[in-house]
Structure 1
Amino acid sequence: MAIVTQGLNTAWLVAGVAVAIFFVASCCVGSDATSDAGHAEGDYPIRPVPFNEVEITSDFWRPRLITQRETLVPFAFERTKPGVEHLRAARDHLAGAPTPDHRPHRFIDSDLYKVMEGAAYLLQLRRDPELEASLDELVDLIAAAQHPDGYLYPSHTTGVATSRQMMGDAPYEFVVHSHELYNVGHMYEAAIAYYRATGKDKFLGVARKSADHVYRVFFDGDPKYNGGKPVLQAPGHQEIELALVKLYRVTGEQKYLDMASRFLEIRGVTYVPDGEGVMAPTYAQQHAPVAEQVKAVGHAVRATYLYSAMADIGALSANPELQRAIERIWGNIVDTRMHITGGLGAVHGIEGFGPEYELPNDDAFNETCAAVGNVMFNYRMFLLYRDAKYVDVAEVALLNNVLAAVNLEGNRFFYVNPLGADGKHPFNHGTPGRAPWFGTACCPSNLARLLPQVPGMAYAHNGDEVYATFYAASRTSLELSSGRLAIEQTTEYPNEGDIEFKLTPETPTRFCLLLRIPTWTSDRFVPGDLYHYADDCNDKITLLVNDEPYPVSVERGFAKVDRVWSRGDTVKLGLPMPVRVSECHSSVLANDQRIAFTRGPLVLCGEGVDNGGPVQRFFFKEPPRTTSATTSTATIASGSFLQVALPAETVTAEGGVDQATLNLTPYYAWNNRGVSSMCVWFPRTRDLAQFDPLALPDDSPFVEIAASHTFEEDALSAIADNHEPRWSSGNKSTRWSSRPRTGEPQWVEGRFANARRIRSVGVYWFDNNKDVKTPEEWSLEVKREGSWSPMDLYVTDEYGTRVNQYNVVHPAAGLTCEAIRVNMTPQQDASVGILEIDVVFEENDVVRSTKGDASEALAK
């Protein structure tokens, strides 16, 4: 595959700056829906200007788009080589060649398809023979990996998939989790994008062959599958529904739209899981027929893909039941389940929606793909209802959560997007900051196809109405019923709120220009009941037409300017951008007595790198007077971003209070200058402020701890912070480790406040089965009257190295000591690590654990 990789890298580097583009239109309704063979009269009432017909000139967006072209997508192609190998194994097996080393995977193909889709979007902007040849090579491979009847799923093709791996023992046996339909859905989207870019239909033919096969197996019955009976089950992970709508639009084949509708109709009807966790009925939104669903539940990415499909199909079929359902669900999201950053799916484990108002900060999940889904869903809602509030939500999710998910350099990523961090806790799949890639790579590959589509969200139109929906310096032209109109937009948005349009109609003509007036200019930052401003702003929105004041009359979030326009007419919109203070709904316990800061559409956060240490030590007794805020620009090697300074109070190491300055950074820019603490929601009280969030808690068994060596991205305090681990892998746990030192003896020790009588000591090992493993051997020493000596073990005890549990040892006899030391000999090729040490003391003849559990009295 060296030829493909080399070609892709070169092609992306030579693509021109005209790659300036924006995200949503292609994802929403197809970027050229008006010319698609399948465009129906029943459809969205307005249409976006295609992304490849909008040139972004913005100083904010252009560097990101160049980075996307030169770094992110080539990097993503390099990282999705396993998907290529996966398909190659299927091709070889079908050709009769052995594939002894093929390892099964449920969804690795989809990551490659998403990156191919992003590459195809660039080809729509500029034909590039080298890139095109590379993609042709991949298309040939995909076609060769497809069965003659259309089936495409390498793990079942080679016979290595099993139920144990959540793939089922045969094709379509475990649709709830196999991702068979999810994968081909992403393949359809890549094929459609490539057909639109090149006119070549081989890849589109592969997609149609697959879709025809799926229709036959799921709705008609095929003797080779499921005993010849129709499967009649909706996919566990939604995606194919969206892709089928696009396939209908590009081919005009009604069957594909009917197929998408039928997948919606049978969800929660023909199959309802009966279990917990990932097998709960709500996990994949299978708990009720879609038209009867009223709340956002389950896995957040699946949910937003479902709601997006409901919007598409509801518009195309003019189905009022689907439209009413997504209105209810949207209201439930913005009123009870969305972080201020636009993040969705706060709960770990199911990567999804928890109970209403459960919106933690440091422990928030907020998968990047869910933010992508939030943008997709809300932009569709705008096209359906022509209400700016939906664009407002899409914008907040895009500018905050989505942009935060990739660093300014374009080669490190967030899968999880919390609203607070201590600088050591490994929240992001094993790291305390961004990671270069993930085993589950849906998020980086989603970004690879997302950002090249940016401009399709900037303008929309219908007849003689022109909507300016997303503000970014740009140029475009569009066809109105009265003729051609050219638009040039000049602005520094989202950093500044002055926006100017120059309008050039072919001839003087009447039309209505609708300018979005964002929710953040009102009494709250984002639509819904979750957040409201705690301060007042008397700055007024201004609107000038040809430098003359024009009345601002807002309807459904848009200011209308309806007049006869001539060449060179100008419109100037002024959106005040003071720093604003937000409070949260009282039912969100995590934000009780806390405030957050925003400026324009950007959420602000504090980082330790700007504030001389942990930002959790700052607090505000009263919402600050934001008129005292000062702004500046921070410039680093990979880019620049706005910063804000505010007066605040801070706790000191001695427990006192000082006046201080809190420096704030846009949330999207955090973790671009190394790993440090971060906070979005700041305390209103001294009691909630923490001088050191990594300090030992009051109920820790130790008052002082030390170690032979501590890895810079780990925390020694983890061994005694009373955070109960779930698994030794430690992906979501603070931990201590001796990385990168391998094979060297290590120790950790903890001192008690005074001499204590010990009943037992338990060690919970950190073992990622890679560079950190359980020790070859270990032992305990105890300190008595200032001297260290080995602890004599109870006769039946041993120093165990079992994972996913405490390895508990007891002293041979009554033991009182001032401190304990764990001595470890690592395996030769590994470091050692500890998640937690549990010390059980004997007090008043009752055994008490530092975990807070008490057993029955020893006297019994």
Structure 2
Amino acid sequence: MKIRNLISGCILSMLVLPSCQNSTIKKEPQPLTPVSFEEVTLQDQFWLPRLRTQKHTLVPFSLEKTQPVVENLRRTAAYLKSGKEENLLNLPRYVASDLFKVMEGAAYLLKIEKDAELEKQMDEIIDIIADAQCPDGYLYELFTVSPSMRKLGWGAGDKPYSFVIHSHELYNMGHMYEGAVAYYRATGKRKWLDVAEKSAQHINRVFFEGDPNYNDGNPMNQAPGHEEIELALVKLYQVTENPLYLEMAKKFIDIRGVTYKPDGSGIMSASYSQQHLPAREQRSAEGHSVRAMYLYSGMADIVATKGDTTLIPALESIWHDIVDKKMHINGGLGAVPGIEGFGPEYVLPNKNTYDETCAAVGNVFFNYRMFLASGDAKYVDVAEVALYNNVLAGVNIQGNRFFYVNVLEADGKKAFNHGRAGRSPWFGTACCPSNMARLIPQVPGMIYSHADNDIYCALYASSSAEVPLKTGRIKLKQQTDYPFDGTIEMEIEPENDGTEFTLWLRIPTWSTDRFVPGELYSYADNISTDASLYINGKQAKTKSIDGYVPVKRKWNKGDKVVLQLPMPIRYSSADERVEADRDRICITRGPLVYCAEQPDNEHPASNYIISQIGKEGRIEAFADGILKGIPRISLNASAIEGETELPATLTLIPYYAWNNRGDNVTMNVWFARHAETAAKEMIRTVDNIADVSATHTNGSDDVYAIADGQFPKSSSDNSIIRWTSWPQKGTAQQVEIKLKKESDVESVSVYWYDDQGGVQVPASWDMEYQANGQWNKFRLYSTDHYGILPDQFNMVHPAEAIKADALRLHIKPKPDSAVGILEVVIE
């Protein structure tokens, strides 16, 4: 931090502003109040189109996809009303949270723009939610309906709160609270908020006081396995001002790792759910990355709202552990697929990484809350990188296809996105699309914040807002083409001329000696990026403090401030301990990471070499197509073709914009600096498969099609060979895949063949794996299921780390059809 401040100070140390008493400005850590999303009006061409896409595509699409959840809530309500047994749809235990997140996103959009039809739809769902709540406040479909339905095997235990470590009961309620708060803020309607308060008071009785109907009347006193309710309770407190909810949030944090510690491996290990140590004693980011980021966000909320400074040492140490050792340059977190979580220090693979979209969303939430708790710009710098890169990559430009996993290199054939090469229209575990639905509308509320007589401009976007200060209300109008251009113009209109306050303008880390805070990445070039500041047309001189240029003066209506942040092409290298990035370079510009994608380049993206650092290159925007208006970069480079290195032009696009022009493409973020590095062959999964056999193979098909590396366009693709069991209708089949050597198996993905006639996706399937001559059940990771969706890979992960020398698929067809497979990918 000291180094960063020194650099920032050097950039602007040559700048004295006669009208600013900057020598008297002191930046003390202080909690800030954000200007809420509904008080900020966007006028920009980057975020505003995305909000329109949210309104017209993403939210309606997501509400449609979550209708099965609404149906289960409707059946739960019917059971409560009549007492007659209802059959629930067999959905994952956490899936109600997806509905609540989508509704939260819809609420933000309603505040931004009224929509009677959407509001009516929301009210109808809220009525169903209210009717599905038990009289005592409990709300969880499975344990509300008749006992016979509890045999569904949701992995939630056998009665309410009997398996808090994985039931997601409190997790679901946390997302419901956030949705209810957002809807109340947007409409002023209390019905859903009343449901949330009733639930929270019920949970307080059960977990901290004791309720005779639960746990034999003893307080549960256990923190949930999946954090979320902690930060949601803070929001509930902020809107109701009921201190009970704030105390509950603190209690859940206080007891984590104290009153209960799971004892097992994989998803039952204590570190997986951050229960290995009390929260205040934790010093590193551990376990499932989304759970972790939600916990750290809740801890930061308690610092900001209760002034609990005892949490600060843990938070600061964890933050440094992330940015110094465990974060991808795109802001991605959770590099280890097996646990969707944090791996060892400096283990940051590019092809086989995980970087779940939800973890990047959590990265934004955590860092923005750390900013609000302290006012320190370094946290916004991390949140911004995660937001513009990993988060935005999570949804396509049209707003209807999603990434669950965010790799930094793709060979065009591997199942790199939680079951398919390319974005998916939805997921069985749809936390990522629903998180996108609720985060993007919150961005306007992250632009401005204030404290006493200070206004902080954290994010840059064309917008207007009115900020309440002690000395009066201040109207702000911002104009910029950020993140494509670094010129930011601010027009100030105080309520009364001569009003004194300090305007804090952020100087991002990317404009200093590195792209993002932390010790992992630094610029390998020597390009000058000095920022410039102008007040009413005159160049000003001031000092940078904690990543800001503070402008303190008496303001009059019409005063204008211009901040210019140069945006040259920059070249980043990684810490040598990051093996995957050794002898490699990443290209960035402003806050955006750039990548190469095959539609723009002659050679596969990973074959390119950037040997000369610091060349300016050419920048021009796409003139048409889906990427219209987005700047691309062209560099003189070279490429490996066979054993020959050839001169080549390398074209790059922002990482968030990749995979919008076809799925079967190569993509790369980290480019080799020398031919030897680029020449390393990409290992394809098919190379480790020694043999494939099946109980029956149709005479015109080929069982080896299962492992030939041919990527299908759809489940009915007849342009490539396939395996089918035709004409054996309704007959169970077995497919065995032998590996050349015993290997770690992190995931298995199956792409089913379906001609919508005699061969269809199966009714069900499961799997075994062989190790040391013994066949074992392939136990699934907690959020996985054996999928049978057409037109995509159906991916499963093992519950814990396994090694295998063979895999065996047991496939149960539908009664009137055979089954078929186009491709299996083992990673």
TM-score norm. by structure 2 comes to: 0.82
Asked whether 1:134 is paired with 2:124, we answer no
Instruction: Name the aligned partner's letter for residue 194 of structure 2.
Output: G
The answer for the alignment partner of 1:792 in structure 2 is: none
The answer for the alignment partner of 2:502 in structure 1 is: 512
Q: 1:667 aligns with which of 640, 655, 658?
A: 655
Q: Which moved more, 1:181-190 or 1:634-643?
A: 634-643
The answer for the alignment partner of 1:167 in structure 2 is: 156
Distance 1:254 1:741, change over 3 A: closer
Is the 8 Å Cα contact of residues 742 and 829 (structure 1) preserved in structure 2?
no
Instruction: Name the aligned partner's letter for residue 517 of structure 1.
Output: I
The answer for the alignment partner of 1:603 in structure 2 is: 593
Shift of 1:731: 5.8
| CA distance in structure 2 between the partners assigned to 1:738 and 1:48 by the alignment | 51
Asked whether 1:314 is paired with 2:303, we answer yes
Unaligned 5+ residue runs, structure 1? Answer: 1-42, 746-761, 774-802, 809-825, 838-850, 852-860
Q: 1:619 aligns with which of 606, 609, 623?
A: 609
The answer for the alignment partner of 2:400 in structure 1 is: 411
| CA distance in structure 2 between the partners assigned to 1:722 and 1:716 by the alignment | 23
- Percentage of pairs with the same residue: 50
Q: How does 1:194-209 map to 2 (within 5 A)?
A: 194-209=183-198
Once the two structures are superposed, what CA deviation does each residue of 1:395-437 show, in whole Å capped at 9, x if it has no partner? 0000000100000000000011111111111121211010000
The answer for the alignment partner of 2:448 in structure 1 is: 459
Q: How does 1:551-700 map to 2 (within 5 A)?
A: 551-620=541-610, 622-633=611-622, 635-637=624-626, 639-653=628-642, 655-675=643-663, 676-690=665-679, 693=682
Once the two structures are superposed, what CA deviation does each residue of 1:816-860 show, in whole Å capped at 9, x if it has no partner? xxxxxxxxxx995432345489xxxxxxxxxxxxx9xxxxxxxxx
Structure having the higher Rg: 1
Shift of 1:611: 0.7
SS state at 1:635 partner? coil
Is the 8 Å Cα contact of residues 626 and 660 (structure 2) preserved in structure 1?
no
Asked whether 1:100 is paired with 2:87, we answer yes
Shift of 1:44: 6.0
Once the two structures are superposed, what CA deviation does each residue of 1:12-70 show, in whole Å capped at 9, x if it has no partner? xxxxxxxxxxxxxxxxxxxxxxxxxxxxxxx9622111111111111111211111111
| CA distance in structure 2 between the partners assigned to 1:391 and 1:474 by the alignment | 18
| CA distance in structure 2 between the partners assigned to 1:695 and 1:163 by the alignment | 38
Shift of 1:717: 14
Is the 8 Å Cα contact of residues 51 and 453 (structure 1) preserved in structure 2?
yes
Is the 8 Å Cα contact of residues 486 and 564 (structure 2) preserved in structure 1?
yes
Distance 1:181 1:227, change over 3 A: same
Distance 1:574 1:807, change over 3 A: closer
| CA distance in structure 2 between the partners assigned to 1:440 and 1:226 by the alignment | 30
Instruction: Name the aligned partner's letter for residue 391 of structure 1.
Output: V
Q: 1:85 aligns with which of 52, 71, 87?
A: 71
Is the 8 Å Cα contact of residues 534 and 581 (structure 1) preserved in structure 2?
yes
Shift of 1:637: 3.8
Q: How does 1:207-218 map to 2 (within 5 A)?
A: 207-218=196-207
The answer for the alignment partner of 1:360 in structure 2 is: 349
Instruction: Name the aligned partner's letter for residue 568 of structure 1.
Output: G
Is the 8 Å Cα contact of residues 696 and 721 (structure 1) preserved in structure 2?
no
Question: Number of aligned pairs?
Answer: 725
Q: 1:264 aligns with which of 247, 253, 259?
A: 253
| CA distance in structure 2 between the partners assigned to 1:410 and 1:242 by the alignment | 27
The answer for the alignment partner of 1:188 in structure 2 is: 177
Q: Pick 1 or 2: higher relative contact order, CA cutoff 8 A, min separation 6.
A: 2
Shift of 1:225: 0.8
Shift of 1:737: 7.3
Distance 1:627 1:723, change over 3 A: farther
SS state at 2:649 partner? strand
Once the two structures are superposed, what CA deviation does each residue of 1:221-247 show, in whole Å capped at 9, x if it has no partner? 111111111111001111111111111
Instruction: Name the aligned partner's letter for residue 66 of structure 2.
Output: T
Shift of 1:692: 7.3
Q: How does 1:236-247 map to 2 (within 5 A)?
A: 236-247=225-236
| CA distance in structure 1 between the partners assigned to 2:371 and 2:87 by the alignment | 51
Is the 8 Å Cα contact of residues 415 and 421 (structure 2) preserved in structure 1?
yes
| CA distance in structure 1 between the partners assigned to 2:71 and 2:759 by the alignment | 38
The answer for the alignment partner of 1:487 in structure 2 is: 476
The answer for the alignment partner of 1:712 in structure 2 is: 712
| CA distance in structure 2 between the partners assigned to 1:446 and 1:562 by the alignment | 38
SS state at 1:648 partner? strand
Shift of 1:302: 0.6
Q: 1:66 aligns with which of 48, 52, 66?
A: 52
| CA distance in structure 2 between the partners assigned to 1:353 and 1:680 by the alignment | 21
Instruction: Name the aligned partner's letter for residue 626 of structure 1.
Output: K
Shift of 1:736: 8.1
Once the two structures are superposed, what CA deviation does each residue of 1:296-327 show, in whole Å capped at 9, x if it has no partner? 00111111110011011122222221122111
SS state at 1:177 partner? coil
Asked whether 1:543 is paired with 2:533, we answer yes
Q: Which moved more, 1:687-696 or 1:169-178?
A: 687-696
Shift of 1:120: 1.6
Shift of 1:628: 3.3
| CA distance in structure 2 between the partners assigned to 1:329 and 1:717 by the alignment | 49
Q: How does 1:429-448 map to 2 (within 5 A)?
A: 429-448=418-437
The answer for the alignment partner of 1:371 in structure 2 is: 360
SS state at 1:661 partner? strand
| CA distance in structure 2 between the partners assigned to 1:411 and 1:643 by the alignment | 24
Once the two structures are superposed, what CA deviation does each residue of 1:352-404 show, in whole Å capped at 9, x if it has no partner? 10111111101111111111111011011111111111100000000000100
Asked whether 1:75 is paired with 2:71, we answer no
| CA distance in structure 2 between the partners assigned to 1:740 and 1:609 by the alignment | 30
Once the two structures are superposed, what CA deviation does each residue of 1:753-805 show, in whole Å capped at 9, x if it has no partner? xxxxxxxxx9xx9x9655599xxxxxxxxxxxxxxxxxxxxxxxxxxxxx994
